Chains A and B, each alone.
Chain A
């Protein structure tokens, strides 16, 4: 009988106390932007390259012109600011025309047209490009590039970079390089490729598992974690000559290296004291400062573009979530509250967003992004297991690995999740990094 009365009494007292103290708790302010900004890519046509010399050209030269045009078209199509308008053969048959003039391109929807003229002075290929306003029927920009014929791919990328710069003011990314880990049997070696996956070449030959490659800001070195001497330790490889050297060695693991924007420091995870904590090392592998000191697992550091802050993931709240701290380890604050699992953050070079991996309730891994103020949480992928996101040097694209088509391969997309492209086709590719 006593318990029948005392139990409700105790419950009442507890409720009373809880409500009294809850008044002093902070109310978390939540904003949800109403996005009214409407982005429309500009429609651009890229006409077939025409030979303007006065000599006969070989079949090989004709093929080079064709391939170079495809490179320029592919680059323009990759660019998030533009959408490629393709020549419509049905339109040409319908109107019984053999080539498309400016009016035809305008009717196909193109705002601008890129015209390409080729010459072959000696062993070189010279491309003159012109940008035309299809509505005004006039040229408003032009340029010329010349390279050895064997470098037609680089030439095409250069022309595309100039076109993008003319129209956007931004430096094109078509001559940038990517690095990734690729499975070869039971090991993983690092491979280098152009931004579009072409020109793949093996960067390391250590015969071990190498992961988490990241370019130094100057692009001449790649830092990575390797198991080549047992425990995972920090190494670097010189990109031009492929020479591998050890950067740091500590008991336990060294993982998730992130080079500071000035190129003089490396944030990484050390477990030398038994728990994963974030440290900052100098380029010789000496500890400059320990940044985190918590019983939870702190990992995946990433620098802000100004080098003043570091984002990382930690399960200190019970589940992996993203946090931001000053680069001296102070002022730690939680960034993500949505999603029960957010990991592997990477800070955009534009400074405005952080991309990361989100695990949904169904167990699928997706690429997500969030504003650095903690707003505008977006899931960017929908199919397969998507991991290891990394930003392009201009912060407008994200490279990541995915199993959406079966084997794990490297994909890219723009920061809104559009225009997703597959770069590798061999399978077993992961941990991509993007350099200048």
Chain B
């Protein structure tokens, strides 16, 4: 019995010693620690009753966007402040004047109405008055928007894109970041995946339109 115990201890000692000694000599072995991303098993929003820990992002969010009230979508329109280099003009009446640089018109369509994700969207071309175009364009954008960020607060990313007569996009960029790159990318991808947009109406004279869209995560 004692001999068995001694034999066991000896074996333990030999194996542990061998393992410890052999480790440094294995030059090919590299311990890599990949970034482990927490898995959130929430697929569809309607079957996702629980939410993971909120992420902290306040320092990355521009001050003017962080001011947007969360619980009151109806007042969010007034709270949205455009980037400083762009001047926000008050809403103009229907006009046939050609587009003027720096002039913008708030888009009047159900897709950009009160409570919408895209509330506050504007168009560079004041003479573009085709609600069906906005309805279809924003329906496509909504259908192509997949938000990868789970966050309790409000994120706002402002994207600007230009569409030519055929409905193709010639430029798209993030005008004001939400502070969360994944959310910004999702917004930009929603625009790019939605192309082509409906062609510009034949009656419309300009060759290009520019649209500024604020994406909200809720």
Interface of A (DSSP majority class): loop
A140 and B204 CA atoms in complex are apart in Å by: 11
| C-alpha spacing A32/B48, complex, angstroms | 12
Q: Does B148 contact A (CB under 8 A)?
A: yes
- In the complex, identify which listed stretch (A13-21, A228-236, A238-246, A275-283) lies at the interface while the others stay far away: A13-21
Given A35-B43, A35-B44, check contact A26 B193 (CB 8 Å): no
How far, in whole Å, are A111 and B40 apart by their CA atoms in the complex?
38
With A39-B143, A168-B140 in contact, do A34 and B42 touch (Cβ < 8 Å)?
yes
Q: Give the contacting residue for A167; candidates B136, B148, B168; CB below 8 A.
A: B136
- Which residues of the partner chain B approach A94 to less than 8 Å between Cβ atoms? none
Tell me, yes or no, whether A133 is within 8 Å of chain B by CB.
Answer: yes
> A26–B36 Cα gap in the complex (Å)?
10
- Per-residue CB proximity of A16-46 to B under 8 Å, as 1/0? 1100100110110111111111111010000
Mask of B1-37 contacts with A, CB within 8 angstroms, 1/0: 1001101100110011001000100000111101111
* A31/B29 in contact, CB under 8 A: no
* Given A9-B11, A24-B31, A169-B199: A140 and B132 interface contact (C-beta under 8 Å): yes
Taking A42-B139, A352-B193 as contacts, is the C-beta distance between A32 and B40 under 8 angstroms? yes
Contact call B150/A34, Cβ cutoff below 8 A: yes
Contact of B4 among A2, A34, A131, A166 (CB under 8 A): A2
**Which of these, A13, A29, A168, contacts B136 with CB under 8 Å?**
A168
The answer to whether A24 touches B29 (Cβ under 8 A) is yes
Q: How far is the CB of B157 from chain A (nearest CB, A)?
A: 13
Q: Which residues of B contact A (CB under 8 A)?
A: 1, 4-5, 7-8, 11-12, 15-16, 19, 23, 29-32, 34-37, 39-45, 48, 130-132, 135-136, 139-140, 142-148, 150, 166-168, 190, 193, 195-199, 201, 217
10 more CB-based (< 8 A) A-B contacts, given A9-B8, A35-B45: A2-B7, A5-B8, A13-B15, A42-B139, A81-B136, A81-B139, A81-B140, A112-B132, A135-B131, A167-B132
10 closest pairs, A vs B, by CB? A169-B167, A169-B196, A39-B143, A36-B147, A37-B145, A169-B198, A27-B34, A169-B197, A24-B31, A30-B39
- A→B interface (CB under 8 Å): 1-2, 5-6, 9, 13, 16-17, 20, 23-24, 26-27, 29-40, 42, 81, 111-112, 131, 133, 135-136, 140-141, 165-170, 352
